[in-house]
Amino acid sequence: MNNLFSILHNTPLFQEGTIEFDKPIKPLTSYKIGGSAEAVFFPKTEENLKEALIFLSKNKIPASLIGGGTNILVSDKGFKGVLISLKNLNKIEIVSESQGKIFVRAGAGVLIDDLTKWAANNSVSGLDAFGGLPGTVGGALFMNARCYDVSISDRVKSVKYILEDDEKTRFEEYEYKAADWDYKVSPFQPSSISTEITKDRKIVLSAVFTLTYGIKEEITSKTEEKIQDRISKGHFKAPSAGSTFKNNRTFGVPSGKLIEDAGLKGLCEGGAQVAPWHGNFIINKDGASASDVKILIEKVQETVKDKTGFLLEPEVIFAGDWS
């Protein structure tokens, strides 16, 4: 840690953005769970991020990437090395308009909530399904977030990203191809989904969305409807990472229903609980540790497997040092 501090503290590129040492992660996540990161770096610009990635890889310093922290369970030991947040890449701009379409670029660090509000305020239609979705543009692209039967990929035109490749780390452009995407699958996911930045990791910098103009009041009310629906379903009643398990279509019913039918709603492990109001939400009820949540996830998997034969696949990503 002291060694890392002196290396990074004395390297000007880390002073260009903001760097914080021994930073507790809980406040950076929707679960409000997790240990500390040895360092958290907020690059100022895309170029600053690229230089940092090259430096970290050259010096063999582990690096990880966090968006809004709304789909991750950070271990009680936290993160080794440097955790990178792109919250400074937060610009939203109209890039062009053609034949009734409007192309909007949003930085990876833009909160989806801010993007949907921006769209409504500017009479831009097409993102209302994402009203109230926690997290950032980068995280939504990576996860291919899906809300009310609309996937974020349904609106993507192109993406600018960095390809991590040691000293050859470089900027790349991606053009949308339907075949690259599926339910919770995006072309930015490595074979093993994690927060770690290793060789060949694609780091989303910004995305261009294909949208249309609409009527401001209608867009605003559709967006607000979704937010209210989430509130009524108890999404924000307790800290969580949203749905714990993916909805596997071959199971025939949503994962939450399988969990409910197995009688698991309300089940507790330490401070963690299967939400009494939503089978697929595992909540931090009362100061849960990451281990509490992980054990509860495993218990739910075992019970559902015993009762139905289906193995639920976690959607939540285990992040940080689980060794």
Ligand X SMILES: Cc1cc2nc3c(=O)[nH]c(=O)nc-3n(C[C@H](O)[C@H](O)[C@H](O)COP(=O)(O)OP(=O)(O)OC[C@H]3O[C@@H](n4cnc5c(N)ncnc54)[C@H](O)[C@@H]3O)c2cc1C
Return the active site residues.
Answer: 243, 315
Out of 41, 42, 142, 251, the residue judged to bind ligand X by CB under 6 A: 142
Q: Does residue 83 belong to the site contacting ligand X (CB under 6 A)?
A: no
Rounded least distance, CB 231 to ligand X, Å: 10
Is 106 within 8 Å of 67 (Cβ atoms)? no
Rounded least distance, CB 228 to ligand X, Å: 14
> CA dist 110 to 97, 103, 244, Å?
21, 16, 24
Q: Does residue 133 belong to the site contacting ligand X (CB under 6 A)?
A: yes
Q: Which residues contact 262 (CB under 8 A, 6 or more apart)?
A: 300, 303, 304, 307, 308
| Measured distance CA(255)–CA(188) in Å, rounded | 25
Q: Does residue 134 belong to the site contacting ligand X (CB under 6 A)?
A: yes
Task: Determine how many CB atoms are found less than 10 A away from the CB of residue 172.
Answer: 13
Restricted to residues 261-320, the positions that interact with ligand X (CB under 6 A) are 317
Rounded least distance, CB 191 to ligand X, Å: 13
Rounded least distance, CB 136 to ligand X, Å: 4
| DSSP code string of 218-278 | HHHHHHHHHHHHHHHTTTTSS---SBSB---GGGSS-HHHHHHHTT-TT-EETTEEE-TT-
Question: Which residue number, 187 or 308, has a Cβ lying nearer to ligand X?
Answer: 187
Out of 88, 136, 153, 301, the residue judged to bind ligand X by CB under 6 A: 136
Q: Does residue 81 belong to the site contacting ligand X (CB under 6 A)?
A: no
Work out the angle between the directed axes of helices 112-121 and 216-232 (0-180°, nearest 10).
150
Task: Determine how many CB atoms are found less than 10 A away from the CB of residue 248.
Answer: 16
Task: Determine how many CB atoms are found less than 10 A away from the CB of residue 165.
Answer: 15
| Measured distance CA(24)–CA(34) in Å, rounded | 8
Q: Does residue 34 belong to the site contacting ligand X (CB under 6 A)?
A: no
Question: Which residue number, 133 or 156, has a Cβ lying nearer to ligand X?
Answer: 133
Residues β-bridged to residue 245: 314
- Interaction pattern, residues 145-174, with ligand X; x per rule: CB under 6 A: xxx---------------------------
Is 134 within 8 Å of 72 (Cβ atoms)? no
Mode of pairing for the β-strands spanning 72-74 and 317-319: parallel
Q: Does residue 242 belong to the site contacting ligand X (CB under 6 A)?
A: yes
Question: Which residue number, 8 or 65, has a Cβ lying nearer to ligand X?
Answer: 65
Q: Does residue 73 belong to the site contacting ligand X (CB under 6 A)?
A: no
- Interaction pattern, residues 178-207, with ligand X; x per rule: CB under 6 A: ----------x-----xx-------xx---
Task: Determine how many CB atoms are found less than 10 A away from the CB of residue 292.
Answer: 22
Q: Does residue 43 belong to the site contacting ligand X (CB under 6 A)?
A: no
Residue in 60, 75, 86, 84 with CA at minimum distance from that of residue 320: 75
> CA dist 239 to 2, 31, 212, 304, 316, Å?
33, 5, 35, 24, 13
Q: Which stretch binds ligand X (CB under 6 A): 139-147, 170-178, 258-266, 270-278?
A: 139-147
Q: Does residue 86 belong to the site contacting ligand X (CB under 6 A)?
A: yes
Q: Which stretch binds ligand X (CB under 6 A): 13-21, 140-148, 282-290, 305-313?
A: 140-148
Q: Does residue 67 belong to the site contacting ligand X (CB under 6 A)?
A: yes
Q: Does residue 220 belong to the site contacting ligand X (CB under 6 A)?
A: no
- Residue numbers of the site for ligand X (CB under 6 A)? 30, 65-72, 86, 108, 133-136, 138-140, 142-143, 145-147, 188, 194-195, 203-204, 235-236, 240-242, 317
